[in-house]
């Protein structure tokens, strides 16, 4: 086995490439860019398919150079494992989805091999990992994170049965049974929060920039209270009948947009927990794979809504390397 490989997780909204030591999983270096597959695709939307494919390949090869030039060992061939939106209709290559039930050892994954060479002459062998779908749902990238998470001893006992909750732009609620993914449900929580707060009538009364600047951590009691009020509203009312409250709170009660955005966040996160309470028994364990950014929000909302399910929280350092651990299965 080569001493290291490159691990790429290219999602809808961000790009991350890591150099990983093959035997230990230690990260030797990383390169992160805020350009996701969606933005990259839109940037090249007017190009032909061939030109767009070349742009994807060139971007990845240049990114690989940024890490490989930092490594003292020069390899004859560098393995690059990619998951996420690279294999989607807006990505580098549109691969078919693997079907559920999908074993958590990755044995049913659909992959594709490509070769390349960086501008500085490093030969590359790309392995693209496709996503997973049911009859009416789909995901790309989260399946690789789950392969990694359930390969860790601290989470492996939950592979017999649990609900895995992965917050993000498109939050995934993933049913796990007998060491396999058996069901998928998507909540557009992150995208709705961004779209409603920037491109709807709620934009005048909600400031999305506040959440990013604060790292999704409230910094004053009024923000925490607004989040809690949003969760409470979700518990007792339907979503469509509650969204306009984000405007009336700002207009009638003069709540600042930097505070009121937390009400909208609480409303959307609370909607997820309400759905879980309605669909699943209270004794079903939940694996909250939220990392450091969203974990406290989902845990606090669960407490406010009296969620009685056993909740197992993935630690930030484990979530950070979930995709890497999954990629190591494909070496």
Same domain, 225 and 93: no
| First-to-final CA distance of the chain | 9
Is the CB of residue 259 less than 8 Å from the CB of residue 214? no
Write down the pLDDT at residue 1: 79
Upstream peptide bond of 101 is cis (omega within 30 degrees of 0): yes
**What whole-number distance in Å separates Cα of residue 110 and Cα of residue 238?**
39
Residue 174 lies in a domain: no
Residue 164 lies in a domain: no
**CATH number of the domain enclosing 51:** 3.30.420.300
Same domain, 146 and 17: yes
Write down the pLDDT at residue 13: 84
Among residues 303, 224, 237, which one has the least CA distance to residue 263?
224
Mean pLDDT, 10 residues at a time, over the chain (331 residues)? 93 91 93 90 91 93 93 92 92 94 96 95 96 96 96 96 95 98 97 97 97 95 98 97 97 96 98 98 97 91 98 93 93 83
Question: Mean pLDDT, the chain, as a whole number?
Answer: 95
Residue 259 lies in a domain: yes
Same domain, 30 and 138: yes
Same domain, 196 and 130: no
- In this structure, what are the phi and psi dihedrals at residue 100, rounded to the nearest 5 degrees? -85, 150
What are the residues whose beta carbons fall under 8 Å from the beta carbon of 103, sequence distance 6 or more?
A: 179, 180
Write down the pLDDT at residue 291: 78
The two beta strands, 111-117 and 27-33, are unpaired
Q: Tokens representing 244?
A: 């306009």
Same domain, 301 and 322: no
Distance of CA 253 to the CA centre of its chain: 35
Q: What angle do CA 271, 274, 276 make, to 5 degrees?
A: 115
Residue 122 lies in a domain: yes
Same domain, 114 and 228: no
- Domains identified in the chain, total number: 2
pTM comes to 0.92
Give the three-state DSSP class for 115.
strand
Write down the pLDDT at residue 179: 98
Q: What's the length of the chain?
A: 331
Write down the pLDDT at residue 331: 83
CB-neighbour burial class of residue 178 (10 A; exposed 0-12, middle 13-18, buried 19+): exposed
Domain assignment of residue 143, given as a range:
4-155+318-328
Same domain, 306 and 324: no
Residue 10 lies in a domain: yes
């Amino acid at each position: 086995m080569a001493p290291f490989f490159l691990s790429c997780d290219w999602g809808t909204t961000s790009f991350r490439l890591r150099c990983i030591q093959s035997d230990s999983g230690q990260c030797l270096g990383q390169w992160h860019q805020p350009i996701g597959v969606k933005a990259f695709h839109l940037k090249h939307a007017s190009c032909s398919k061939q030109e767009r494919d070349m742009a994807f390949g060139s971007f990845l090869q240049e990114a690989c150079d940024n890490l490989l030039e930092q490594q003292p060992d020069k390899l004859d061939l560098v393995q690059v494992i990619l998951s996420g939106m690279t294999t989607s209709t807006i990505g580098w290559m549109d691969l078919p989805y693997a079907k559920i039930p999908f074993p958590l050892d990755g044995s049913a994954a659909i992959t594709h091999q490509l070769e390349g060479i960086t501008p500085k002459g490093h030969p590359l062998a790309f392995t693209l990992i496709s996503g997973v779908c049911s009859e009416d749902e789909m995901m790309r990238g989260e399946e690789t994170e789950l392969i990694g998470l359930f390969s860790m001893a601290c989470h492996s006992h939950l592979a017999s049965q649990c609900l895995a909750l992965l917050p993000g732009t498109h939050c995934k609620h993933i049913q796990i049974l007998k060491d396999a993914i058996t069901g998928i449900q998507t909540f557009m929580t992150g995208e709705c929060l961004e779209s409603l707060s920037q491109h709807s009538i709620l934009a005048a009364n909600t400031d999305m920039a506040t959440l990013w600047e604060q790292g999704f951590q409230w910094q004053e009691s009024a923000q925490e209270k607004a989040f809690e009020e949003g969760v409470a509203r979700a518990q007792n009312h339907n979503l469509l009948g509650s969204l306009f409250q984000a405007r009336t709170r700002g207009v009638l009660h003069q709540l600042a947009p930097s505070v009121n955005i937390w009400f909208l966040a609480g409303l959307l996160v609370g909607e997820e927990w309400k759905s879980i309470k309605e669909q699943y028994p209270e004794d079903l364990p939940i694996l909250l794979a939220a990392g450091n950014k969203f974990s406290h929000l989902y845990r606090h909302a669960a407490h406010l809504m009296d969620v009685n399910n056993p909740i197992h929280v993935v630690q930030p350092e484990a979530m950070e390397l979930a995709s890497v651990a999954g990629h190591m299965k494909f070496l």
